[in-house]
Amino acid sequence: MAQFADQHSHWTKRLALALEPGLAQRITGTGFEAGTLTVYVESAAWSARLRYALAECLPQLQAIEEGLTNVRVRLRPRAPSP
């Protein structure tokens, strides 16, 4: 489990540098497997914006992360606060 937390922290930091702050705050999780970065976003409304932004910054991300070939966006709402 710690490996996934470290991986999420790693990508959260990189995406925060590559994306505008308002958009980066909408990310609810990340995953990286077999060259594909999966970025989870809190709502469908933000997913389209994030998809376009990630397509624009993909070359920048590939320059700092060897092996990154693809980025996809998936919906994962934030857990409700107690």
Q: What is the pLDDT of residues 8-48, one digit of tens each?
A: 788 888 999 999 989 999 999 999 999 999 999 999 999 99
Confirm whether 82 is domain-assigned: no
- C-beta separation of 63 from 30 below 8 A: no
Query: According to the model, what pLDDT value does residue 79 have?
Result: 76
Question: In which band, very low, low, confident or very high, does the pLDDT at 4 lie, cut at 50, 70 and 90?
Answer: low
Confirm whether 44 is domain-assigned: yes
Helix (H, G, I), strand (E, B) or coil at 43: coil
Query: According to the model, what pLDDT value does residue 5 have?
Result: 59
Confirm whether 80 is domain-assigned: no
Confirm whether 41 is domain-assigned: yes
Q: What is the pTM of this model?
A: 0.86
CA gap 3, 1 in Å, rounded: 5
Q: What residue numbers bound the domain in which 43 lies?
A: 2-75
Query: Percent of the chain, pLDDT > 70?
Result: 90
CA gap 72, 29 in Å, rounded: 12
CA angle 54/64/78 to nearest 5° reads 45
By the 10 Å C-beta count (0-12 exposed, 13-18 middle, 19+ buried), 16 is classed as middle
Structural domains of the chain, count: 1
